[in-house]
Chains A and B, each alone.
Chain A
Amino acid sequence: MTAEAVWEALAEIPDPEIPVISLVDLGVVKDVAVDAGTARVEFTPTFMGCPALEVMRHAMEQKIGELGLDAEISVRLDDSWSTDDITAAGREKLRAAGFAPPAPRVAAKLDLVQLQRGFRCPYCGSTETKLENLFGPTPCRSIRYCESCRQPFEQFKTL
């Protein structure tokens, strides 16, 4: 069994809270190594308080078990993951499901002015949108409102 086969299996696991995107599309799986019947996976949470963390770990163990391998899952807690690591396919899946993808990380300190920019509405494509609330239904999302199609929508926070 190769690491590639494990990557393929993990790519079938949906994000527990935004099931349109897989863990691999999300970029949270950092490393996979297979050695003598054991798959070692390193992954990182999006937000550290994300309650989906345990669900993700359990789903990965199960998928790897189905391949006939033992799973060793470790969590990496540093700044090595960014929303910039979400794949292009993943961003498109988010947009199609009504979530505006995250803006790219910038070197400058994050401020309200950047967050108040007119991000593109995932429904009608207008940039006549405004920030409604920095915080949303999960730690990784903000709430915005589209003035053109009068639709509230969620945006993945830049991390």
Chain B
Amino acid sequence: MSERTDLLLSLADDELILGWRNSEWTGIAPFLEEDVAFSSIAQNEIGHARALYELAAAELGTTADELAFDRTPEEYRSAPLVELRQLEWARTIARHWLYETADEIRIEALKASTDEAIAGLAAKMDREEAYHRIHAEMWVDRLLGAPEGRERLNEAVDELWPYALGVLDDELRPALRERAEAKLGRKLPDVEAVPRGVHEAELAELWDEMTIVRRSAPAGAQW
């Protein structure tokens, strides 16, 4: 597998798995507006995953669906940050904001790529992601604005920080630290990143649910 397909699959897997996690709030978010927001963000992320899988599939001679659903959990290249199951609101917001901040840094780098297809797709994704960032930052500001929210958000960010670093390659991590610390107004711990390639146990559970329809239908079924 080329470096290019490896990159495309890492990006696509992040977006697919996070899209799936975000969709877990559909119907049960704290209030209707957030139900709509998380559902819409999930839809966008999965749309990005599809476009990225299609670029990889063209090179590998396969299809986006096969890449999304026919691999084993161990074969996914997603960062552990997106695999975690977050059932608490402050933790969900912490993950959402850390991911979107890291993703912005990554997209900025991809937009400058000499690979036209990747640079073009990154520019289109960036337009949509801008809304996700604004949403995430609005929530961080809201939680930081009151003592309980502040405490719960900070606790969640500290716990997720090593995972957030793992979304990015080494050279992009200092930019993430700089932006995250500026927003929080405090230093973040010096820790080892939880790297890509090691999977959280929750991924297998997610995979089982995500692929069940595909696995139960005969090969070549059309929807």
- Report which A residues bind B (CB closer than 8 A): 45, 47-51, 77-80, 109-112, 115, 132-139, 143, 157, 159
Pick the contact of B43: A49, A80, A110, A143 (CB < 8 A).
Answer: A49
B51 at the interface (CB under 8 A from A): yes
| Also in contact, A77 and B51, with CB within 8 A (given A112-B138, A135-B36) | yes
What is the minimal beta-carbon distance from A99 to any residue of chain B, in angstroms? 16
* Between-chain CB contacts (< 8 Å), 24 pairs: A45-B47, A47-B47, A47-B128, A48-B44, A48-B47, A48-B48, A50-B47, A51-B43, A77-B51, A77-B120, A78-B121, A78-B124, A79-B120, A79-B124, A110-B134, A111-B134, A112-B137, A115-B134, A134-B135, A135-B37, A139-B40, A139-B47, A139-B128, A143-B33
Interface positions of B from 43 to 82, Cβ below 8 Å from A: 43-48, 50-51
| A133:B123 contact, CB within 8 angstroms | no
Pick the contact of B51: A48, A138, A159 (CB < 8 A).
Answer: A48
Interface size class of B (residues with CB under 8 A): 20 to 34
| B123:A78 contact, CB within 8 angstroms | yes
What is the minimal beta-carbon distance from B83 to any residue of chain A, in angstroms? 20
Pick the contact of B130: A47, A78, A109 (CB < 8 A).
Answer: A109
Pick the contact of A49: B37, B45, B123, B138 (CB < 8 A).
Answer: B45
Q: Which residues of B contact A47 (CB under 8 A)?
A: 43-44, 47, 128
Cα–Cα distance between A159 and B41 once the two chains are bound (Å): 15
Q: Which residues of A contact B40 (CB under 8 A)?
A: 135-136, 138-139
B186 at the interface (CB under 8 A from A): no
| CB nearest to B137 among chain A residues | A112
Q: Is the interface of B mostly helix, strand, loop or mixed?
A: helix
Cα–Cα distance between A50 and B51 once the two chains are bound (Å): 12
| A134:B47 contact, CB within 8 angstroms | no
| Also in contact, A133 and B134, with CB within 8 A (given A48-B125, A49-B44, A77-B51) | no
- Report which B residues bind A (CB closer than 8 A): 33, 36-37, 39-41, 43-48, 50-51, 117, 120-121, 123-128, 130-131, 134-135, 137-138
Q: Which residues of B contact A112 (CB under 8 A)?
A: 134, 137-138
Q: Which residues of B contact A157 (CB under 8 A)?
A: 131
Cα–Cα distance between A50 and B43 once the two chains are bound (Å): 8
| B43:A139 contact, CB within 8 angstroms | yes
In this complex, which of B33, B40, B46 has the most chain A Cβ atoms within 10 angstroms of its Cβ?
A: B40
Cα–Cα distance between A157 and B127 once the two chains are bound (Å): 10
| Also in contact, A49 and B134, with CB within 8 A (given A79-B124, A135-B40) | no
